[in-house]
Each structure stands twice: as structure tokens, then as C-alpha cells.
Structure 1
Amino acid sequence: MTDHNVRTLLPVQATLGEGPVWVGRDRALWFVDIKSRHVHRVDPATGAVRRWDAPDQVGWVLPAADGGMIAGLRTGLHRFDPADGSFTFIARAQGDAAGNRLNDAATDSAGRIWFGTMDDAETDASGRLYRFADGAIVDSGLPPVCITNGPAIAADGTLYHTDTLGKTIWRARIGNDGTLGPAERFVTIEDDAGHPDGSVVDADGCLWVALWGGWGVRRYDPAGTLMGTVTLPASNITKIAFGGDDLRTAFATSARKGLDDAELAEQPGAGDVFAFDAGVCGLPVTPVVLP
């Protein structure tokens, strides 16, 4: 990867920016600040920005097929209405650890939500990956880890699931009924390169991985070969999303969380949202299908 025209889209200085998603119907990027409990929307064409307060830590928002939005709060899945800022409870994962919160999510081509939980204290291996379909939340069956991330889903139905502290990304095939096939290791991030955070798959089937502590994102081909790296002006990159009318712009969220005063002085853009020219197309986000 060469010149990607990296730029700052929004100098928001999020504590823990996460969950960027391009919602094509309103031609805007949505993302959250988990720790500040904010939902953000920005229109790159006009620069218009809106922000909503969430009632608890919010890991992500996704578009729903009925025109609404679905939010993943610490307390479970909720309908989110941007018109009045309300959050209405839908469901929560039964039996999930009390100290967990929701962390990251994606939809597959059938409109199912795949989302992970994690130990909010970042110490216990209590995080699990779930799917939401037909109004019910079901455990994916993958082994628990402390911090779940990703998930990312390819056009062929391959699901990528990240164990952030284990620095390993796993993958499995999604069956027609939503069950997962056997998981296999995809890549492990080497020492001193940061920890794998959120990820997304492009139209060529390659996986883009944000690096917490790694100052950028990596692109891997389906065989797990590193294709290239894009360096960004913040150390803690949390996730990217493809957007714009042609889905060729990559948007990256970042975080100030965990940085001391000296580190923040070194990277004044920490917590901002960045954009760069990906050089490839992304995949459109399938809206959530609700019962």
C-alpha cells in the first residue's frame, strides 16, 4: 500500500471511539464512544454532525431493515430512535457474565447480528460471541475470551472473530441456519505490533484489521498473507468501515483511553475519526432483519 491520502474526518477526541458503520440510506458514517456513552453521526459530504447520549456504555449501532437503528448497550440489544434519542430494550444474552459489556458487532448477508461481549475490567475470559436472529440471542459456541473483537464477515459467509488479548484472529464458516463450522486460526499478530481490534472485509475478500497500540491498520488476503499497512496519526486504532458512494473510502475510529499526558501530547489526534483512500471497494452493510 502506498499513498492513501490519510486525513482527519472528525476531531472528536473520543475516549473509546468504536463501531464505525456506513449507512448507505442516509449516506453517513455512524460510530460510538463507548466510555463517554455517545452515539455519533457524521455526513462527510456536508460536514454535518449529530450526537446522542446513550443510557449506558454503547458498543455499536447498526441499521435495521425497517428504517430504524439497533444499538448494543451493556444491558443488551435496544432499538435506537434518532428522532427522539430513545432506546427501547429488545433482548439480552442470558447467562452472560454480570461484569461483561457488549463490544463489537457486524451483520451477515441474512441480516443476522453477530456481536461479542467482553469483561469490562479486561481481566476475566468471560467474553463470548453471539448471534441475534428471529428475535433470539444464541451463543455461537466459540470458546470464551477476555476481549472479543471483530467480528467481520466476508461475502462467502466466512466469519472472522478476534481474541484481542490473545492477539489471534480465528475464522469459521456460517451455515445457512446460522450455526458456525469448525474454527481455525487465521493470523496471530506478532509482538510489538499492537493488538488486533475491530476488522472488516473488503470486496476482494481481504481482511482489514485495526491495531490497538499499532498506529494503523493491516490488510490480509484470504490465505493470511499480509498485503500492506496504512499508518495513521494515533496509536490506538479501533476499527475501520468502508463508505462513501463508491465504498472506496475507509473510515477509522480511535481512542484516547489508556494514554498518558506525554502520549496524548505526541498524538493530539488520538480519539479522532480518520479517513483514507482504501484503493479497493468495501462491502455494503446488510441491515438487521427484525421479526
Structure 2
Amino acid sequence: MSPFIWKAELAVDSRCELGEGPQWHAAQNRLYWCDILGKRLHWLDPATARHESVTLDQMVSCAAPVSDGRLLLVGERSLALFDTERQTHTHLCAFEADNPVTRSNDARVDRHGGLWLSTMGKNAEPKAGSLYRLYRGELVILRTGLTIPNSICFSADDHAYFTDTPTGQVMRWALDENGWPVGEPECFADFSTHAGSPDGAVMDSEGCLWLSLWGAGEVVRLDEKGQIIGRVALPVDQPSCPVFAGDDLKTLYITTAREGLSSEKLAETPTAGALYRVETGVAGLAEPPLQLA
């Protein structure tokens, strides 16, 4: 059977240099996403289509909803709490602040209210990146020697997924009752010979994983065996990360990027870096807010 195909439509023509880290804040009914290289935080109210943004003082890759209503900004030098109403920052902890080579990259809240987050070299230096977990206020390193850690997401049956993008392999890692990884991860899906490279990912309520393929202009839906059963086609080449949002979690939003595109390519795809959306008819798996204590 051929994979089902959806076509994404323009949601916000934000034209981020590197759009990333989309997060649905259910308590606020807002979608947040970051322009890492542009140092901006964006948000959208889907009900009113109102879009706003604010400039940040460092590169930030994710703004994760916290149980108290604030956001945790995952930055290149620190983790900070952001009050969305007052637009004030509160420093939480340093984050590879002594390493000028790296910045934050992917992040997502797990099923236990912890946050998995990653770093990479600012120029994708080989093996400069790491994978961390912030759990109950403590930041713990899980893995080092990664180049571009991505695809962080979590299934309802307590498995974590991630990739080191240059390998082309999406890994699956069993978790214990508190959400800590057990043993070694195993390959879930191999895209090393596929067009595009695995980037951001999110889970749906049916146990399927939606994976952005950077360079291929599509997001693929993978079943529990890692097989492609659906595709979202985009009119731009560099989708970076999907997220389910809205009251019923049936709208898939996708961040994209303009980074590295030639002037000729930008002329062909002027909305590169915009936020896209598609009505999937499939509900996402609701993600809990981050618990800091």
C-alpha cells in the first residue's frame, strides 16, 4: 500500500534563518518556536492567527512549557525561565557555558515531566555534541560524542527516540519507571540511503513517529516498525521539526529553515523558514509540561 500523502500549507511567513523547537503550550493555547540563528522567540495563537515574536540575548533552540506557566528557554550558554506575560528572564543554570564551540539544538519534554535536550557544534563539528536530561531540577548528561543530536521524542510505552543526524539512523531507547534510559539504544529506522536527513520528530496517539527529513522537503510518518506509512509534502526543502497543536492536537505544525540556501534557491522557495501546518486527522500524543521540582 502506498503511503498516504498530505500537503502542508503556509501558517506564518516568519522566514526564520533556522526555525526549530516548536512546542504547544496547552494552558496558554499558544504555539511557540525559535529562530536559533536569528535569536528570536515566536508564538502563534491558532484561534486568532495572531503571531508575535521577541528578540533574545542568545541563540535559543526550544521554549518548553513549564508546569507553573512559564517557559524554559534552552540556550547556547544557559537554561533560563521566561515569564511570557512580563517577558522577563530568570537564570536557572549554566549550559555548556565554558564551551564556545557548542550551542543547544533539539529538546522535548518526556512522559515523566523531564526535559531531554542536546548540544551540537556551531559549525557541526564532529562529535562535539551531547544529550542531556533535566529532571526535577538536576541536569544529567546521557550521551557524548554526538554530532547533530535530533529527533528527540517519547512514546506512551516508555521509549525515547533520537538520532545523530549524519548517521541517518533513528534510535529507540528503553526507559525505566522514572524515564531514565536502560541499556543501549537500538536502531528503529535507517535513512542513511534515503533522500534527506532525519531532523526533529514527534509522536502521535496511535504510536507512530512523525520525522522531518531535512533537505527532502517532507515529513514522514513511521509505524511502530519504523516503516513509512505517510508523507507530508512541503514546498520548501528544509523542514526541521513537527509538533501537534490545537485543542484536539490534530493540526501538525512544522518549522523550516533558510540556512545555507543560495540566492537562487531562495528565489525559488521564498517562504523557506516559514511555519507550515497540515490537518492530519490524527491526534498527537499529549505532552506534559516540564516539572522542575
Identify which of 219, 222, 229 aligns with 1:220: 222
* 1:96 positional shift: 7.5
Identify which of 58, 61, 71 aligns with 2:73: 71
Distance in 1 between the 2:96 and 2:178 partners? 21
2:150 aligned partner:
149
2:178 aligned partner:
177
* 1:62 positional shift: 0.8
Identify which of 189, 193, 196 aligns with 2:195: 193
Matches within 5 A, 1:255-270: 255-270=257-272
Identify which of 117, 120, 141 aligns with 1:118: 120
Task: Report the secondary structure of 1:50's partner residue.
Answer: strand
Change (3 A) 1:96 1:221: farther
Q: Letter of the 2:154 partner, please give it.
A: I
2:248 aligned partner:
246
Task: Report the secondary structure of 1:257's partner residue.
Answer: coil
Distance in 2 between the 1:94 and 1:36 partners? 20
1:279 aligned partner:
281
2:28 aligned partner:
26
- Contact 1:92/1:137 (CA < 8 Å) preserved in 2? no
TM-score by length of 2: 0.94
Q: Letter of the 2:16 partner, please give it.
A: A
1:163 aligned partner:
164
2:135 aligned partner:
133
Identical-pair percentage: 33
Task: Report the secondary structure of 1:265's partner residue.
Answer: helix
* 1:5 positional shift: 5.2
Distance in 2 between the 1:183 and 1:239 partners? 22
- Contact 2:111/2:179 (CA < 8 Å) preserved in 1? no
1:203 aligned partner:
205
1:89 aligned partner:
91
- Contact 2:7/2:234 (CA < 8 Å) preserved in 1? no
TM-score by length of 1: 0.95
* 1:276 positional shift: 0.3
CA RMSD of superposed structures (Å): 1.6
Q: Letter of the 2:156 partner, please give it.
A: A
* Greater mean alpha carbon deviation, residues 87-96 or residues 13-22: 87-96
Superposed CA offset, 1:55-99 (max 9, x none): 100010011001111110101211011223222221234698441
Task: Report the secondary structure of 2:145's partner residue.
Answer: coil
* 1:131 positional shift: 0.3
- Stretches of structure 2 that go unaligned for 5 or more consecutive residues are none
Superposed CA offset, 1:120-175 (max 9, x none): 111221211100012111011x3521111121111111100111111111110121
Change (3 A) 1:83 1:95: closer
Once superposed, which parts of structure 1, at least 4 consecutive aligned residues long, lie more than 4 Å away?
A: 93-97
- Contact 2:76/2:96 (CA < 8 Å) preserved in 1? no
Aligned length: 290
Q: Letter of the 2:261 partner, please give it.
A: L
Task: Report the secondary structure of 1:25's partner residue.
Answer: coil
Distance in 1 between the 2:14 and 2:127 partners? 31
Distance in 2 between the 1:96 and 1:193 partners? 36
Q: Which has the higher strand share?
A: 2
- Stretches of structure 1 that go unaligned for 5 or more consecutive residues are none
Task: Report the secondary structure of 1:264's partner residue.
Answer: helix
Q: Letter of the 2:276 partner, please give it.
A: F
- Contact 1:91/1:136 (CA < 8 Å) preserved in 2? no
Superposed CA offset, 1:98-129 (max 9, x none): 41111111111211001111111112212111
Distance in 2 between the 1:169 and 1:97 partners? 27
Superposed CA offset, 1:193-248 (max 9, x none): 11111000110111110011010101111111111211101100000000111111
Task: Report the secondary structure of 1:26's partner residue.
Answer: coil
